Structure 1
Amino acid sequence: MQAQTFTRNEIEDFLYHEAALLDDWQLPAWLALYTADARYEVPGTDMPRDASPENSLFYIADDAFRLGERVKRLMKKTAVSEYPRSKTRHLVSNVRILESFDDRCRVHCAFVTYRTKSGVTDTYIGSSDYVIVRTAGGLRIASKRCTLDLDSLRPQGRVSIIL
């Protein structure tokens, strides 16, 4: 294994920036944090950690194109599930760099995302696994998998926000 080229502070600052963009509904700027071949996944609550979207039903299994389409839909007034927009608060903690090779690292962290809309607050808790790459333009997300630590999506019923 090569010497670590990423620091925890650098990665934490990047993840806090990502969370702030989501909370401020700056979704186009958030999307720009992703690489052109990125993946964003949210497996079902009853899935094993190593489940694959190729043979399991995921809540979200987006490649870069689908992620871009998701952002476009969420930004429109016709997005009934998110217009008016929810208020969210993304909290990130327990950030660990699992592996680091030259310009790429694997990161694991815990998250809590609060979503408030129409007088109801939903709480999503879980962990995120990232592959983060260093590019000429700065750090970028090559993949993000948000694993929910919930028995089910009740009472939320769906994931209409970006975790």
Structure 2
Amino acid sequence: MTAVTRAEVEDFLYREAALLDEWDLDGWLALWTEGPTSYVVPCNDAPDGDPAQDLVLIDDNELRMRLRVERLNSRKAHREYPHSRTNHQVYNVLLGEPAGDELPVTASFTVWRFRNGKASYYVGRYHYRLVASDGRLRIRSKRSVLDMTELRPAGDLAIIL
């Protein structure tokens, strides 16, 4: 991977957060690479869980992400129609050592969700594998590890973290 600055990565992550907050889920999908992709949210009690062996809250490949976006954009997602208002906050961005064409990136997050007069939140850490494609950053994998020991403050996970 060519030299990418932390500011460029931060701008990319902020753009992703803005797309999610605007419910531009098709725009969010456009941030991903083609081919093998992975969006995982492990269970709170097994943050290092392997989706192939352990129970996880979300384990999406490219097809499942597209189907999730299609459902969330339709009236079929009763938990999210009308859409919640969200506020994705990304901070403490750290770049790892590039490995082949991938750049590992971690960042802390807080996502606020407002729906039906109630506020809920999700707090945790993102683990990305980013690649440069056509001079632009793309997501190959994203793992959203929740720091919360239970989902009770949030109630459910019907949004994209």
Q: Do the structures match in fold with TM over 0.5?
A: yes
Aligned partner of 2:44 in structure 1 is 45
Q: Tell me the TM-score normalised to structure 1 length.
A: 0.94
What SS class does the counterpart of residue 39 from structure 2 fall into? strand
- The one of 72, 87, 90 aligned to 1:89: 87
Report the equivalent of 1:21.
Answer: 19
Equivalent residues of 1:34, 1:141 under 8 A apart: yes
Give the corresponding residue for 1:63: 61
Give, as a single letter, the amino acid of the residue that structure 2 aligns with 1:66.
R
Q: Distance in 1 between matches of 2:133 and 2:27?
A: 16
Structure 1 position 26, deviation (Å): 0.2
Amino acid at match of 1:44: C
What is the alpha-carbon root mean square deviation over aligned residues? 1.4
Q: How far 1:158 moved relative to its partner?
A: 1.6
Per-residue deviation, 1:21: 0.2
Q: Secondary structure, in 3 states, of the residue corresponding to 1:100?
A: coil
For the Cα contact (< 8 Å) 1:35–1:64, is it kept in 2? Answer: no
Distance 1:102 1:127 in 2: 23
Gaps of 5+ in 2: none
Runs of 4 or more consecutive aligned structure 1 residues displaced over 3 Å after TM superposition? none
Q: Which residue of 1 aligns with 2:130?
A: 132
Q: Contact 1:5 / 1:103 at 8 angstroms: preserved in 2? A: no
2: CA distance between counterparts of 1:156 and 1:101?
A: 35
Distance in 2 separating the partners of 1:151 and 1:123:
13
Q: State the alpha-carbon separation in 2 of the partners of residues 79 and 31 from structure 1.
A: 18
1:95-110 alignment, distance < 5 Å:
95-101=93-99, 103-110=101-108
Structure-1 residue corresponding to 2:5: 7
- For residues 60-105 of structure 1, what are the alpha-carbon distances to aligned partners after superposition, in whole Å with 9 as ceiling and x for unaligned? 0000110010000000012100001000000000000012246420
Alpha-carbon separation, structure 2, partners of 1:97 and 1:162: 23
- Listed as ranges, the gaps of 5+ residues in structure 1 are none
Q: Size of the alignment, in residue pairs? A: 160
